[in-house]
Structure 1
Amino acid sequence: MGTLGFWRLAQADPDWIAAVDPDGTEHRAGDLLARSNRLVHGLRALGLRPGDGFCALVPNGADGLVLYLAALQAGWYYTPINWHLTGPEIAYIVADSEAKALFVDARYAEEGTRGAEAIAAGLRFAVPDLPGFRPVADLLDGQPGTAPEHRTAGAAMHYTSGTTGRPKGVRRPLSGLDPDDAAEFTTFLLGLFGVTPGSGNAHLVTSPSYHTAVAQFGGTALHMGHRLVYMDRWDAEEALRLCERHRVTNSHLVPTHFKRLLSLPEETRRKYDLSSLRWMIHAAAPCPVPVKRQMLEWWGDVVYEYYAATEGGGTIATPQEWKAHPGTVGRAWPISELLIVDDAGEPVPAGTPGTIYMKMAGVAFEYKGDPDKTAAGRLKDHFTVGDIGYLDEDGFLFLCDRKADLIISGGANIYPAEIENELMIHPKVADVAVFGVPDEEWGEQIKAVVEPAPGCPPGPELAAEILASLEGRLARMKWPRSIDFIAEMPREPNGKLLKRKLRAPYWEGRGRAI
C-alpha cells in the first residue's frame, strides 16, 4: 500500500488538476485537499464524531466532492440527496439518516429549505448563501488546511428504495482503516475493468453524483489519480466535446446516453476526436443488443458492462465477452459469487431463470432502521434486489426481468408503490396501479391506471387534475407520463393486485417477462 488514494496523490502533486466544474473552472488537488481538511476541522468543532453523518443537496462539481472527501477521512457517513426530490422527501432522508449537518446549494433553495425543517437551524449550511442557513464560511473560517489528527475511513450512505416505496439508507460498517489505505483498496473496482492509474487519465461524470455508481466510479477514478470532468446535465454533443477537450479515457454511462449519442447526426458524431476513450463503462438498465452493437462499432472495443446494485455486486462483461455472448451482463467479479434460485430458494440449472442472489467478499450492509427488509433480501450470506435472470453454461448472466414492479427510466430506479400512495390520496381515485411501459428513448416510462371514484367521469380533465395534485409532494421525475382509466381494478379476493394483467398488453410482442 502507499501509492494511490487522493490524499497521498494530492500531497505528492498539489498542482495536479483533479477536478473540472461544469462551467470549466479547474481545481488543483492541493486546494481540494486543504478545503476538505478545513471542513473536517469545522465539523469536528460542531461536534461531529466518527460514526456520525451529514447530508448534502448539491449539484455536480467540486463543492460536493469536498464534502465527500471530508467524510471519507473523518469516519463519517456522507449522504448525497437526489436534487429532484420535494421538501418532504428531502426531510425524510435528513431525519432517517440522523444527519448532524445539512448542506444545500442555492440552486435548490426552495425544496432544500422545506427539507431543512428536519434539522436544527444551527446545523444547516448554504452554498454559498441562503436565508435561514449558515454560510459554509462559518465552518471554514479560521480552520487550518492541514491534515486533521486521528483520521479514520468514512463511507457514503446512499438511499435506495424497495417495492414498499420508502427510501432506505444502505449502511455498511465503517472499516476503521486509515483513509489512505481504504482509498487504495477501493481502486480494485476500476481495476476489474483493466483501468490503470495515472494523471494522464480523465473520468467524465455524466450523471448526478447522488447516484451510487456515479459517485463510486468517480471517487475511485479520483483515487487512481484521474481528473474528474463534471457535466451539469446530460447533453450528447457536449459529452463528445468534453471527451475531446480533456482526452477522457473513462466514464460511467447508462443505455439512454447511448441512444442519445447514436441519434446525433453522423457529421456531428464524426466531428470529435474520441481516440482517447479506453474504458466506457455502463450499467443501471438493460441495454438493447442493437444499441450496444452500434456503440462498439463506433467507439471500438472500449464499451464495458456490469451488473450490480447499491447493496453490492456483481458481474462484468468485457467488449470481447459481450460479443461472444450478446446480451449478457457478464460473469461474476473475482470477489463475488452469483446464485440463481427458484421460489423455494433452491439453485436452478444453467439456462433456467430464477431470482439472482449475489455475495461480495468482505462487504456487508444493512438497510438502516429496517432489519426486516435486510433479512428479507438475504439467503444465507447472499443478497438479492429481486431481479430475475439465468446463467448460461459458461457462467455468463442474462437478465430476464427487473424487479416485478420496479420501473427503470433513463437508468433511474423508480418505485411504483410510492407513486401509488400519493395518487390514492386524491378523492376522485378509487384505486390505482403504476408500472413501466415501453419507451424507445428512456427504456420505460411511468404509466398509471386509475379506477375513478363513483360519479367521477374518466377522461383528460380528470387525468390532468390527478397529476396536478402531485405538485410539491412528489418529484416530477416520478410523475406518470400518462394515465389510463379502468372500470374495475383486477384484484384477487385477498386484495392482491394482479398488476401483470394490467402491464401485459403494453408489453405485448416486446419480449419482456411479466
Structure 2
Amino acid sequence: MTEPVSHARRIRERAAAHPGQPVYRHIAADGAEPVFDWRWLDRRSDQVAGALAERGLGHGDRLGLALRNSPQFVLSVFAAWKLGAVPVPMRWDLPDWELDRVREVVRPAVHLDRGELPWLDGTAGREPVALPDIVSPHTHGICSSGATGTPKVIMGTSPSVCGPHYNRPLADVWQRVPPIPSPQTILVLAPMYHINAFSTLNNLLGGDRLVVLERFDAARVVDVIERYRVSTFTATPIMLQRIADVPGIERRDLSSIEWIMQGAAPMPASLTRRWCELVGPEKIIMAYGSSEGVGITAIRGDEWLTHPGSVGRGIWGTEVRVLDDAGASVPDGQLGEIFLRMPGSDRARYLGATPQLTPTPDGFRSIGDLGHLDADGFLYLADRRADLIVSGGANIFPAEVETALIDHPKVADVVVIGLRDEQWGRRVHALIQPADAADPPGLAEIRAFAKSRLAAYKVPKSIEIVETIPRSEATKVNRGRLLAARGG
C-alpha cells in the first residue's frame, strides 16, 4: 500500500481482495465470540450508509456514536466514512445529562445510541446502494471531559485517507530485528470512544486483524490472548495491574505477544518490572501523547530499566521542551510544563467554546502536563497542573502518591485528591479500594507504608475505604467529580 486512498475505497479494496478473510472478532459480554470477514463488513456498512443517508447524514456531517464496542459500532464508522461524514464516538457510560452536554457541542446530524441497535440490525434487509469514492474532511472526532469536566471535543487532524503509515506499528520506530510479523492480531481492551482503541480501525484498514472486547475483563483477556494468539494490545496501568493479578498468570501462554503499549498515566515501577518478567522488557513500550496529537514520546522496556520512570524521548519527529511560567526552558531535572512539537500536528481543533491550544511563537504546544527532562533528553511525567495539590504551601502530585500506595498488599486500587482543609489549605486524601473488603487497611498502616516511600508532606492525612474506585470503561478516573462530591 503506497498511494493514499480514501477509507471508503480501502474498505472496498480489502473486500475485493480478501472477501472471506476473518478480520474482526467480537468478544461479547455474554460469552459469544462471533467473527466477521471483509465481505460482510463491506456489504453491511453499505447498507448502514444507505439508511443513514436517508436520515440526512451527508458529506462533512457528524455522526454521534454512543455505542459500546460492537460490530454495530464498526459498521457505523465505516458507513460514515463511505458517506464522507465524520464519526464522533462518545462516552456511552456518562449519565444522560452529561451526554446531552456533549451532544450540544458535537451537534451531530444523526446520533446513534443503544436504543438504535434494533434499527441498525434492521438495515441488514436493505439492498446496498452504490456509493461514490469520497473523503471525509476529518477522520474522526474524539470526546474528552478534560481536567475540568467540561465537554471537550477534538476534531481529528487529517481527512479520511489511508497512507503507508496505516500498517506501520508504533513498535517499528526501534527497527526491531527480526521485524514484527504482519498482519498483527490486535486485542482492543478499551472502549472505542478512546483514541487508542478507535485508532485500531486504521490498523484494520492497513491489513491487521482485530479482536475487540465489548467490556474489559482481565481473566478473559488472558484466555483470548492464548486462544487467538494475540500479538499486541494497548492498556492503561490499571488494566495491566489486573491482568498481572490473574491467578497463575506466570504459567499462562503469552508467547504470541510481540509488543504491548502502555499509556494514559504514569506506570508504577513495580508493575513495569512485573511485565518485564512476564513478556520481556524489549516487548514493552510506554508512550506519552494526547488525543490532540501535539506529539508523542516513547520508551521501550529495556531502555526504561536504565531510565526508570521515564516516558521516553520524542519519536516521529517530536521535539520536547519543558518550560517555566515565563516560557523559558528549565534546567535538566527541574519541573516545568511539557511542550511538544511534531510535524503536521497543528491541525486538531476543539469544537464549541473550549479555548484552542495556544502555541509558543515557534509552534510548541502543551495540554497542561508537568514533568522534567534528564541529561539524556528522556522525559518524566509528574501530573496534570489541574490535579496538583497545594498543601501547606508544598506542591504534591496525586499520581506520585498513588504510585507509592498501589504496592501496599491491602490496596487493590487507589485515587488521591486534595480536600479542603482549614490548616493545610488542601490535605492529601486517598480513596482506597481494599484487596479484601473484610480486611481493609487502616490510616496508620497506610501512613506508615507511605512514609517509607514518600517525603513526609506527601503522606495522606486521611483515607476513605470505598467498595470500588469509580473509573470509566476506559479505566480513567475523574478527580474533579470526586472532589465535588466531597465538598470541592
What TM-score bracket applies, with the shorter chain setting the length? 0.7 to 0.9
Query: Corresponding residue for 2:16?
Result: 11
- 1:20-46 per-residue CA deviation (whole Å, 9 max, x = no partner) reads 111201111210111222222332333
Instruction: Check whether the contact 1:163–1:406 (CA below 8 A) recurs between aligned residues.
Output: no
CA distance in 2 between counterparts of 1:375 and 1:484 reads 31
Give the one of 234, 245, 259 matched to 2:241: 259
1:238 aligns to what?
Answer: 220
In structure 2, how many angstroms separate the alpha carbons of the residues matched to 1:88 and 1:80? Answer: 17
Q: Does 1:127 align with 2:117?
A: yes
Code of the aligned partner of 2:258: R
User: Against the structure 1 CA distance between its residues 138 and 295, is the aligned structure 2 distance closer, same or farther, given a 3 Å change threshold?
Assistant: closer
Contact 2:105 2:151 in 1 (8 A): no
Which of 41, 44, 50 aligns to 1:35? It is 44
Gaps of 5+ in 2: 390-397, 407-411, 423-463, 465-469, 471-475
**In 2, Cα distance between equivalents of 1:7 and 1:392:** 48
Partners of 2:290 and 2:361 lie apart in 1 by 16
SS in 1 for 2:385: coil
1:405 to 387, 390, 407: 387
1:404-443 correspondence to structure 2 within 5 Å: 404-405=386-387, 438=402, 440=406, 441-442=412-413
> 1:231 Cα deviation (Å)?
1.6
Query: What TM-score results when the alignment is normalised by the length of structure 2?
Result: 0.74
Aligned to 1:221: 203
SS of residue paired to 1:480? helix
Q: Work out the CA distance in 1 between the residues paired with 2:41 and 2:275.
A: 35
**Are the aligned partners of 1:58 and 1:103 in contact in 2 as well (CA < 8 Å)?**
yes
Which residue matches 1:480?
482
8 Å CA contact retained: 2:357, 2:366: no
Quote the Cα distance in structure 1 between the aligned partners of 2:268 and 2:69.
Answer: 28
Task: Work out the CA distance in 1 between the residues paired with 2:123 and 2:108.
Answer: 16
Measure, in 2, the Cα distance between the counterparts of 1:272 and 1:335: 38
CA contact (8 A) 1:55 1:99 kept: yes
- Go from structure 1 to structure 2 and tell me whether the alpha carbon gap of 1:235 and 1:382 turns closer, same or farther (over 3 Å shift): same
The normalised TM-score by structure 1 is 0.71
Alignment counterpart, residue 311 of structure 1, candidates 260, 282, 292? 292
Q: 1:273 aligns with which of 253, 267, 270?
A: 253
Matched, 1:71 2:42: no
Distance, in Å, in 2 between the alignment partners of 1:361 and 1:480 is 38
From 378, 399, 416, give the equivalent of 1:396: 378
| Per-residue deviation, 1:356 | 0.5
User: Structure 1 residues 235, 162: closer, same or farther in 2, change over 3 A?
Assistant: closer
Distance 1:42 1:484 in 2: 47
How far 1:213 moved relative to its partner?
Answer: 1.6
The aligned counterpart of 2:185 is 202
Corresponding residue for residue 61 of structure 2: 52
* Matched AA of 2:90: I
Check the 8 A contact 1:250/1:280 in 2, yes or no.
yes
- Within 1, Cα distance between the matches of 2:274 and 2:324? 35
CA contact (8 A) 1:19 1:27 kept: yes
Shift of 1:446: 5.7
Q: Alignment partner of 1:280: what SS?
A: strand
1:369 corresponding residue in structure 2 = 352
Matched positions, count:
403
Unaligned runs of 5+ in 1: 107-125, 129-134, 408-434, 452-463, 465-469, 471-475, 490-514
Deviation at 1:482, TM superposition (A): 11
Q: 1:3 to 1:442 in 2, by over 3 A?
A: farther
Call closer, same or farther: CA 1:46–1:349 in 2, change over 3 Å: same
The answer to whether 1:157 aligns with 2:141 is yes
Moved more, 53-62 or 344-353: 344-353
| Kept after mapping to 2: 8 A contact 1:53/1:99 | yes
Asked whether the equivalents of residues 193 and 279 of structure 1 are also in contact (C-alpha less than 8 Å), the reply is no
Identical-residue share of aligned pairs (%): 27
Q: 1:483 to 1:82 in 2, by over 3 A?
A: closer
Matches within 5 A, 1:77-92: 77-92=86-101
Structure 1 79/378 Cα, relative in aligned 2: closer, same or farther at 3 Å? farther
Quote the offset at 1:354 in angstroms.
1.2
CA distance in 2, matches of 1:402, 1:221: 30
- Aligned residue in 1 for 2:415: 444
SS in 2 for 1:155: coil
Q: Distance in 2 between matches of 1:160 and 1:100?
A: 20
The change in CA–CA distance for 1:97 and 1:13 in structure 2 (over 3 A counts) is same
RMSD, aligned α-carbons: 3.2
Per-residue CA deviations over 1:437-496 (Å, capped at 9, x if unaligned) read 736244525676599xxxxxxxxxxxx9xxxxx9xxxxx9656399768xxx9xxxxxxx
Question: What secondary structure is seen at the aligned counterpart in 2 of 1:21?
Answer: strand
Per-residue CA deviations over 1:304-329 (Å, capped at 9, x if unaligned) read 11000111121011122212211110
